[in-house]
Amino acid sequence: MSAGASEEAVEDPVEYFLRDQEFHGRSDRTLDSYRRVLRDFESFLADSERNPAGESMKPDEAGQRECMAWVHELRGEVAESTVATYAAYLHRFYAYMTQVGTFDANPMALVTEEMDERIESDPTRREVSVEQMQSFVDAIARPLDRALVVTLLKTGMRVGELCNLDLRDLRFDHPAGDELDAGGRPQLGERSDSLFVSATPERGEVINGKERPASNKRKRDTIVPVDDELRRVLVKWLAVRPDPTSPADPLFVNTRERWGRRIEPSGVRYIVEQHAREFGWYRTGGGSEENVTPHYFRHFFTTHLRDATGDRGIVKYLRGDVAEDVIDTYTHNWGDRVREVYEANVYSLL
């Protein structure tokens, strides 16, 4: 523990973390979820018959082996997706406590990295070539639909992350010569032609004055390059975008029902499904190996960009799969590395 930490922080790091998260604006539901998971981990560490150390310990004393054992125990109790969620909670707890100097290290960093390595891509998914995807995009005429699909394909972001984007998260040079910049993201700095994807939104959480419809599941904030094709598509969308009803100024809003309101994941899935059906890429009753969905676009992005670059680190960074305390190389070297590799290898869609 750091010398500057309060006695309360030393005695109860979980409550210290939760109180700070409350100050950051986390919802009661989110705090309750964190509390339940972190207290379960504490109980695991305190039980000398359950943890591999064979003696009672506190969270700041736990190492990678204890964390791995706890994750392994979860696998016999909950679904694999829930295991990943709980592991992410514990990782975020350790990362925060390390960052503020209360803990010396984050033993979950390597654990979560190893969990990601074990996730295999699904070899039975429909194979779509870049040329076929170009034809698919070409058939989409509505500016909103095209902007949604091209953004997903060019960034590899999740549908919830797409819906959570606000205008302030986008910065690029407008064809008229004026720079589009809502001024609300200091993280973008002078980085033009960029999208900021935050790691923090939780479903139901109020951010930028508005409740969010979905959670972002990134391990770190990510700045994704906006190439010329994506910029052109977004310019056309912004030219016809209705005035948003939300004070958060969402980037993507409905143009039919719920006019001007932030589009939600269900709306994006419906739009993609309709276009995929017309293209013969979606069938009622078909599974993930057959149907093209927003998540398929993330798979497409990962597969093609990884094959083109041969650099899994940059692809994982762009996907938001790399934790802040595991790899910082790419953000510190943004202009020279991430953008260079991305722009040199990202596929053409238009």
The enclosing domain of 254 has a CATH number of: 1.10.443.10
- Which of 108-122, 196-210, 237-251, 306-320 comes out lowest in average pLDDT? 108-122
Last residue of a domain, one of 63, 91, 118: 118
Q: Report, as an integer, the average pLDDT of 167-191.
A: 65
Q: What is the mean pLDDT of the chain?
A: 81
Q: How confident is the model at residue 128 (pLDDT cuts 50, 70, 90)?
A: confident
- Give the position of tokens 């094709």: 229
55 plus 195 within the same structural domain: no
Residues forming a β-bridge with 180? 172
Confidence of residue 329 (pLDDT cuts 50, 70, 90): low
Do 112 and 157 lie in a common domain?
no
Instruction: State yes or no: pLDDT of 181 exceeds 80.
Output: no
C-alpha 224/C-alpha 317 separation (Å) is 9
Check residue 118 and give its pLDDT. Answer: 47
> Within this chain, do residues 102 and 165 fall inside the same structural domain, yes or no?
no
Paired strand residues for 179: 173
Final residue of a domain: which of 98, 118, 138? Answer: 118
The average pLDDT across 147-151 equals 97
Categorize the per-residue pLDDT at 57 as very low, low, confident or very high, splitting at 50, 70 and 90: very high
pLDDT at 79: 75
pLDDT at 325 over 50: no
pLDDT of residue 336: 66
pTM of the model: 0.62
Tell whether the model's pLDDT for residue 180 goes beyond 80.
no
Is position 42 within any domain?
A: yes
Q: Is residue 188 in some structural domain?
A: yes
Q: 70 pLDDT exceeds 60?
A: yes
| Pair (331, 294) in one structural domain | yes
Report pLDDT for 273.
Answer: 92
Per the domain annotation, does 123 fall within a domain?
A: no
pLDDT digits (tens, 9 = 90+) for 71-81: 988 887 777 76
What's the total number of domains in the chain?
2
Does residue 136 sit in the same domain as residue 112? Answer: no
Least confident range from 15-24, 61-70, 152-161: namely 15-24
Task: Report the pLDDT averaged over residues 282-294.
Answer: 83
Single-letter code of the amino acid located at 167:
L
Looking at the domain assignment, is residue 324 inside a domain? yes
* pLDDT of the residue at 121: 43
Please give the residue range of the domain that contains residue 157. 130-345
User: Any alpha helices (H) in 141-264, and if so which ranges?
Assistant: 143-155, 159-163, 228-240
The radius of gyration of the chain's CA atoms, rounded to the nearest angstrom, is 21
pLDDT on residue 140: 92
Nearest to 88 by CA among 106, 66, 104, 73: 106
pLDDT at 333: 61
In a domain, 236, yes or no: yes
- Tell me which of 53, 86, 118 is where a domain ends: 118
Residues 336 and 253 placed together within one structural domain of the fold: yes
For residue 120, is pLDDT > 60? no
pLDDT classification of 4: cutoffs 50, 70, 90: very low
Percent of the chain predicted with pLDDT > 90: 27
Residues 156 and 291 placed together within one structural domain of the fold:
yes
Q: Is residue 199 located within the same domain as residue 270?
A: yes
Do 104 and 138 belong to one domain? no
Q: Residue 39 CB: number of other CB atoms within 10 A? A: 11
Average pLDDT for residues 193-202, to the nearest whole number?
Answer: 80
Considering only residues 173 and 329, tell me which one the structure prediction assigns the higher pLDDT: 173
Kindly state whether residue 238 falls inside one of the protein's structural domains.
yes
Q: How far apart are CA 334 and CA 285, in angstroms?
A: 43
Residue 192 lies in a domain: yes
For residues 211 and 337, state if they share a domain.
Answer: yes
pLDDT at 337: 77
Residue pair 247/210 in contact by the 8 Å Cβ criterion: yes
pLDDT at 309 over 60: yes
What pLDDT is attached to residue 162? 92
Q: Is position 227 within any domain?
A: yes
Q: What is the pLDDT of residues 205-259, one digit of tens each?
A: 676 666 666 666 777 788 888 999 999 999 999 999 999 888 888 999 999 888 9
- What pLDDT is attached to residue 335? 56
In DSSP terms, which residues pair with 243 in a beta bridge?
Answer: none
Residues 111 and 158 in one domain: no
Least confident of 49-63, 123-137, 196-210, 244-258: 196-210
**Tokens linked to 128:** 């779509």
pLDDT over 70 at 124, yes or no = no
pLDDT of residue 3: 37
Q: How confident is the model at residue 122 (pLDDT cuts 50, 70, 90)?
A: very low
d(CA 329, CA 97): 22
Picking from 53, 42, 52, 157, the residue whose alpha carbon sits closest to that of residue 89 is 42
- Same domain for 285 and 142: yes
Counting every residue written for the chain, the total comes to 350
Whose tokens are 């694999």? That residue is 80
The CATH number of the domain holding residue 97 is: 1.10.150.130
